[in-house]
Amino acid sequence: MELQKRFLEKIYEVTKQFFALSTEEKQKYARETGSFQGYGNDMILLDDQVLDWTDRLYLTTYPEDQRKLKFWPKVPIEFRETLHEYTMKQHLLVEKFYKAIARSLGLKDNRLREMCGENAAMETRFNMYPPCPRPGKVLGIKPHADGSAFTLLLPEKNVEGLQFFRDGKWYKAPLLRDKILINIMSNGIYKSPVHRVVTNKEKERISVATFCNEGPDTEIEPELMSEAKTKIVQKD
Ligand SMILES: O=C(O)CCC(=O)C(=O)O
Ligand SMILES: [Fe+2]
């Protein structure tokens, strides 16, 4: 447990150190037009688009042959190695998680894994929200539901900001210490929660979100959910 805690701290540490670099240094990993990977803010899709109050680094981490290392920071020196280790740990967790979800849906243990394929894809987004002079006017991230099958989120443990929407109201997510929060896929049974991040005047906030999806060329068949639903109904 102590080891796990130290490892999660290391992820925060390298993330913080990366965002603390000069803009010039960070720009070496800048996102290219039309690509999601790299350093930078939102893709600009509309003239009057409101930008999120955030600095981001977005990287494909799995399968390994999909990585674009030119966007992987060389500074801090431990960044790449830490992200690789984190990805491998997350991959093991994802395997276990697929099993647990399949079981909870009344499906065979390997059903989701088979469907999502060995090469389930993972992308990691490092978010840094700087202190904001007008917190009431600007959001760190606008309301959204993650498009991933599920998200492993390492939220900042000292600074609040994440909120979830439920029954017409926003609720603050409690601060989590050395824990990963899992947001689950969207389907008729598990709902993908709408969330946002608010800003504050005093403190920067960091989070690391890993989006997990079925592998390339894989589609999750809609029948799976009917299969699951039927089983759940039969169980009741
Ligand atoms: O910063 C957070 O706590 C949430 C980040 C998030 O929702 C995202 O990156 O999709
Ligand atoms: Fe999100």
pLDDT tens for each residue of 10-64: 999 999 999 999 999 999 999 988 788 999 877 667 777 778 999 999 999 999 9
Q: Residue 155 sits in a domain of what CATH number?
A: 2.60.120.330
Tell whether 93 is covered by a domain: yes
Q: Which of 23-37, 66-80, 91-105, 155-169 has the lowest mean pLDDT?
A: 91-105
* Statement: residue 116 has pLDDT above 70: no
The overall average pLDDT reported for the chain is 85
* ipTM greater than cut 0.90: yes
Question: Whose alpha carbon is nearest atom 8 of ligand 1?
Answer: 209
The reply to whether the predicted model has a pTM over 0.95 is: no
Residue 143 covered by a domain: yes
Domain limits for position 166:
5-213
Ligand 1 neighbour 52 (Cβ under 6 A): no
Decide which of 2 and 128 is more confident.
128
Which ligand lies nearest to the CA atom of residue 58 in the structure? 1
Within a domain: residue 225?
Answer: no
Residue in 151, 176, 207, 212 to alter for ligand 1 test, most ligand atoms within 8 A of Cβ: 207
Domain count, the chain: 1
Ligand 1 atom showing the smallest separation from residue 173 Cα: 3
Express each pLDDT in 138-197 by its tens digit.
999 999 998 888 899 998 889 999 999 999 999 999 898 888 888 776 455 566 789 999
**Probe target for ligand 1 pocket from 195, 198, 212, with the most ligand atoms within 8 Å of CB:** 195
- For residue 214, how far is the Cα from the chain centroid? 15
For residue 25 the two structure tokens come to: 């240094």
Please indicate whether residue 128, judged by its CB atom, sits closer than 6 Å to ligand 1: no
- Whose alpha carbon is nearest atom 9 of ligand 1? 209
**Which amino acid type is present at position 235?**
K
Is there a domain that residue 105 lies in?
yes
What confidence score (pLDDT) does residue 45 get? 72
Q: For residues 19 and 23, give the distance between their C-alpha atoms in angstroms, rounded to a whole number.
A: 9
How is residue 184 written in tokens? 């689950």
Query: Would you say 56 and 39 are in contact if contact means Cβ atoms under 8 Å apart?
Result: yes
Question: With pLDDT > 90 as the criterion, what percentage of the chain qualifies?
Answer: 53
Distance 59 CA to ligand 2 centre (A): 15
DSSP sequence for 177-196: SS--EEEEPPSSSSPPPPEE
230 within a domain of the structure (yes/no): no
* Residue 197 CB less than 6 A away from ligand 1: yes
Domain membership flag for residue 221: no
Q: Is residue 199 part of a domain?
A: yes
Atom of ligand 1 nearest to the CA of 155: 3
Q: Is 56 in the pocket of ligand 1 (CB under 6 A)?
A: no
Average pLDDT value for residue range 114-126: 80
Residue 235 domain-assigned (yes or no)? no
Q: Give Rg (Cα) of the chain.
A: 19
pLDDT at 235 over 70: no
Beta-carbon contacts of 51 under 8 Å, excluding residues fewer than 6 positions away, are: 41, 42
